[in-house]
Amino acid sequence: MPEHTAAADFAALLRELKDRSGLSYGVLAKRLHMSTSTLHRYCNGDAVPADYAPVERLARLCKAHPEELVELHRRWVLADAVRGRKGAAAAETPPEEAGSGTALGQEASGAAPPAEAPSAGAPPAAPADADTEVGTAPTRRRTRTAVLAGIAVAAVTAGVALAVGLPGGGSDGDGDGGRHRPVGAAGVTAEGTAPASSSPPSSAASPSSPAKDKGPARTPAGSAPAGAPSGEGQKSGVPVTVRAEPYAWESPCSQRYLADKPASEMKPPPLEEGAAAWVAAHGAVSSGQQYLRLTVQGTGPETVVVDGLTVRVAGKRAPLAWNDYAMAYPGVGCGGGVQTRAFAVSLDSARPSLTPEPGNEDFPFKVSESDPEVYYLTASVSAYDVDWYLELKWSSGDRSGTLTVDDEGRPFRTSGNKGRPAYEFPIGGDGWVPEGTTKLE
């Protein structure tokens, strides 16, 4: 999809929500903690937000319906992916290729060679395959762009808000600052092949190490298997990508974290896009429930069927005896509501399984590169401290496989919080106080 079309479609829905709310740009910008000019650029299509969190907060402030929230996220994914492909292609174009159009123009018009051209009788300074390099530069750029497009789609985001301060990862030296590296990366089991050559699932599909043990490296979803030639990922890799956001919030009032630190050493509650960094800084764990946002997208035009999501438990222990910190500021109104494609799971169960929220459809669903799906999972627990992950089953034509969805190679971790000391952070206050002691005026 052309960049201007994807960005325009995204901006059009933002403007529709903004206009319907009756709120001015100034009021909305103040509530979203951003500048009015930035909000203008988003709604005019001049810029696409690097993170989805502020977009969702804007939509909720404008009373967006669940279906509109899903459609807004779909349009943002497409606009962000196209922008990522354009930026990656520009960064990868070598100076000699970037100037090849000028070189060709000079050659066609008989322009004089550069001043540093060798003297008569000296061998040419161009490399031995200069003719091939110049003659095929456009083709090579198109090939490189196509490969990078697949990579950008596989890493779409958000970059993440979730890429900021990732616990246990997020700095792989790729030079993009991690903007497109998700916190919840999808690992690929050995089943992501054609039936004729499928092999048993690898041990990576069943993590059993402690939560802080990152475990063996996994192949990112949608990339070529180890040893595959460059550019062959689309043919031999998995035709679907999964981006997991384990620190998404259903509403500002819903999220809590357990931390093994006294209140005096805790920073104030973050905004949602800063949650990953806040969690990493405090070694915190989701408390009572964990809300995951999964974006599933095909890597090409072919339809991929998402057959289902299975919850796997990697370990259970007694609930953490840590302090419980509420992310909501007392007195702040909370939005929210059941999303479409919403599921719930109780991690206290002997065999946890996802069930659709009332009014929601169950698997299977279909995705492609231009038609992603977003799933919202609420995992609740009270009696245990649970390490868990997901297995996503997919099929496309005669191929099928399973993706392991976790937190950058580690299980998700959610702990019960009953009886734990609970704290809140008053508006205008300078520290955490026991929950329920704040007097609202």
82: its two tokens: 């196209």
Residue 80 near residue 157 (C-beta atoms within 8 A)? yes
Residue 388 near residue 412 (C-beta atoms within 8 A)? yes
Task: Check residue 368 and report its DSSP letter.
Answer: B
Q: Which of 50-54, 67-71, 333-337, 361-365 comes out lowest in average pLDDT?
A: 333-337
- Tell me which residue has tokens 């998402």: 306
Distance CA 8, CA 42 (A): 10
Return all residues near 343 (Cβ < 8 A) that are at least 6 apart: 309, 354, 355, 356, 357, 360, 375, 376, 377, 378
SS3 at position 419: coil
Instruction: Compute the mean pLDDT over every residue in the chain, rounded to the nearest whole number.
Output: 72
- Tell me which residue has tokens 């933002």: 14
Q: Is the pLDDT of residue 131 over 60?
A: no
Share of the chain above pLDDT 90, in %: 38
Residue type, 30: K
The pair phi, psi for residue 155, each rounded to 5°, is: -110, 15
> Of 344 and 151, which is predicted with more confidence?
344
Q: Is the pLDDT of residue 202 over 50?
A: no
Residue 275 near residue 282 (C-beta atoms within 8 A)? no
pLDDT band at 89 (very low <50, low <70, confident <90, very high): low
Q: Which of 15-19, 24-28, 113-117, 328-332 comes out lowest in average pLDDT?
A: 113-117
- Tell me which residue has tokens 């059941």: 338
- Tell me which residue has tokens 């059993």: 208
Other C-beta atoms lying within 10 Å of the C-beta of residue 309: 21
DSSP codes joined into one string, 61-122: HTT--HHHHHHHHHHHHHHHHHHHHHHHHHHHS-HHHHTHHHHHHHHHHTPPPPTTPPPTTS
pLDDT, tens only, 136-183:
444 444 444 444 444 444 443 334 333 333 333 333 333 333 333 333
337: its two tokens: 């509501």
Helical H runs in 312-403?
none
Q: Is the pLDDT of residue 220 over 80?
A: no
169: its two tokens: 């990862």
SS3 at position 243: strand
Q: Roughly what angle, to the nearest 10 degrees, separates helices 53-61 and 66-92?
A: 150
Q: Is the pLDDT of residue 86 over 70?
A: no
Instruction: Domain ranges for the chain, please list them.
Output: 3-89, 160-434
Long-range CB contacts (within 8 A, 24+) of 22-27: 23/61, 23/62
What value does the mean pLDDT take over residues 375-386? Answer: 95
Distance CA 136, CA 144 (A): 12
Give me the CATH code for the 3-89 domain, please: 1.10.260.40
Q: Is the pLDDT of residue 211 over 60?
A: no
Long-range CB contacts (within 8 A, 24+) of 431-439: 431/263, 431/264, 432/263, 432/264, 432/266, 432/325, 433/263, 435/324, 435/326, 438/330, 438/331
Half-sphere exposure of residue 12: CA atoms within 13 angstroms, side-chain side: 9
SS3 at position 55: helix
Q: Which helix (H) or strand (E) holds 312?
A: strand 304-317
Residue 400 near residue 392 (C-beta atoms within 8 A)? no
Return all residues near 115 (Cβ < 8 A) that are at least 6 apart: none
